[in-house]
Amino acid sequence: MALIGLFVLSTLTEERSPRDGLPYSSFLAEVRAGRVSQVRIEGESGRIEGRRVDGSEFTTQGPSGTVPDADLALLDDEAVARDYAEAPGDSGWIGSLLVFLLPMGLLVVLFVWMSRRTQSQISGAATFGRSPGRVHTTERPATTFADVAGYGAVKDDVSEVVDFLKNPSKFRDIGARIPKGVLLVGPPGTGKTLIAKAVAGEAEVPFISVTGSDFMEMFVGVGAARVRGLFEEARKQTPSIINASEIDSIGRKRRTGLGGGHDEREQTLNQLLSEMDGFDTSEGIVVMAATNRPDILDPALLRAGRFDRQVLIPLPSLEERAAILKVHCRDKRLDDDIDLAVVARGTPGMSGADLANLVNEAALGAVRRGDVAVHAGDFDTARDRILMGLKRTSLALTLDEKQLIAHHEAGHALAAHLLPLADPVHKVSILPTGMALGITQQLPQGERHLYQRRYLLDMLAVQLAGRVAEELTFGDVSTGAANDLAEATQTARRMVSEWGMSARLGPMAWGAQGPVFLGEDLVHSRDFSEQTAHTIDEEVERILAEQDCRVRQLLGDQREALEAIAGALIEHETIDGATVAALARRGDGAHDDVVVATLSDPVILTRRPYAALEPECEASNGAHPCQHR
What does the pLDDT read at residue 3?
Answer: 45
What does the pLDDT read at residue 121?
Answer: 54
Assign domain 336-388 to its CATH architecture. Orthogonal Bundle (1.10)
Q: Annotate 38-89 with DSSP letters as a single string.
A: EEEEETTTTEEEEEETTS-EEEEE--SSSPPHHHHHHHHHTT-EEEEEPPTT
- Asked if 344 and 330 count as a contact pair (C-beta separation under 8 A), the reply is no
What does the pLDDT read at residue 23?
Answer: 85
Model pLDDT for residues 196-222, shown as the tens digit of each residue? 778 777 777 777 877 766 666 555 566
Q: Which of 173-182, 226-235, 358-367, 434-443 has the highest mean pLDDT?
A: 358-367
What does the pLDDT read at residue 588?
Answer: 53
Above 70 in pLDDT, residue 276?
A: yes
Q: Which residues are within 8 A (CB) of 405 and not within 5 positions of it... i.e. 6 or more apart?
A: 397, 430, 437, 438, 480
Taking every pair of Cα atoms in the chain, the longest distance, rounded to a whole number of angstroms, is 150
Question: How many Å apart are CA 497 and CA 453, to the nearest integer?
Answer: 14
What does the pLDDT read at residue 162?
Answer: 79
Q: Which of 54-63, 290-299, 467-476 has the highest mean pLDDT?
A: 467-476
142 versus 233: which is more confidently predicted? 233
What does the pLDDT read at residue 72?
Answer: 79
What does the pLDDT read at residue 608?
Answer: 37
In this prediction, residues 539-545 reach a mean pLDDT of 94
Above 50 in pLDDT, residue 155?
A: yes
HSE-up of 69 (CA within 13 Å, CB side)?
Answer: 0
526 versus 238: which is more confidently predicted? 238
Above 80 in pLDDT, residue 129?
A: no
What does the pLDDT read at residue 612?
Answer: 36
- Asked if 442 and 416 count as a contact pair (C-beta separation under 8 A), the reply is yes
Above 50 in pLDDT, residue 410?
A: yes
Of the pLDDT bands very low, low, confident and very high (cuts 50, 70, 90), residue 277 is confident
Beta strands in 200-276 (DSSP E): 207-211, 240-245
Question: How many Å apart are CA 277 and CA 251, to the nearest integer?
Answer: 15
| Lowest-pLDDT range of 175-179, 282-286, 347-351 | 282-286
What does the pLDDT read at residue 544?
Answer: 95
- Intrachain domains 134-312 and 336-388 with the same fold: no
Question: How many Å apart are CA 485 and CA 482, to the nearest integer?
Answer: 5
CA angle, 346 then 351 then 354, to 5°: 75
Beta strands in 76-225 (DSSP E): 81-85, 134-136, 181-185, 207-211
| Lowest-pLDDT range of 78-92, 145-159, 251-265, 335-349 | 251-265
| Lowest-pLDDT range of 56-60, 269-273, 563-567, 574-578 | 269-273
Q: Which of 63-67, 265-269, 346-350 has the highest mean pLDDT?
A: 346-350
What does the pLDDT read at residue 597?
Answer: 30
Residue 598's region, left for phi above 0, alpha for psi from -120 to 50, else beta, is beta
507 versus 608: which is more confidently predicted? 507
Above 50 in pLDDT, residue 68?
A: yes
What does the pLDDT read at residue 551?
Answer: 94
What does the pLDDT read at residue 511?
Answer: 64
Domain extents for the chain? 2-85, 93-129, 134-312, 336-388, 399-620
Domain 399-620 is in which class? mainly alpha
In this prediction, residues 559-584 reach a mean pLDDT of 89
- For residue 164, which of 153, 152, 179, 154 has the smallest C-alpha distance? 179
What does the pLDDT read at residue 216?
Answer: 61
Of the pLDDT bands very low, low, confident and very high (cuts 50, 70, 90), residue 602 is very low
In this prediction, residues 459-474 reach a mean pLDDT of 93
| Lowest-pLDDT range of 13-22, 65-74, 478-487 | 13-22
Give the DSSP letter of residue 395: P
What does the pLDDT read at residue 13?
Answer: 43
Model pLDDT for residues 590-599, shown as the tens digit of each residue? 333 333 333 3
In this prediction, residues 144-155 reach a mean pLDDT of 79
Domain 2-85 sits in CATH at 3.30.720.210
Model pLDDT for residues 361-380, shown as the tens digit of each residue? 999 988 988 888 888 888 88
Q: How many CB atoms lie within 10 A of CB 570?
A: 16
Average pLDDT score over the chain: 75
Q: Catalytic site residues?
A: 409
Of the pLDDT bands very low, low, confident and very high (cuts 50, 70, 90), residue 621 is very low
Check whether domain 134-312 has CATH 3.40.50.300, yes or no: yes
What does the pLDDT read at residue 218?
Answer: 52
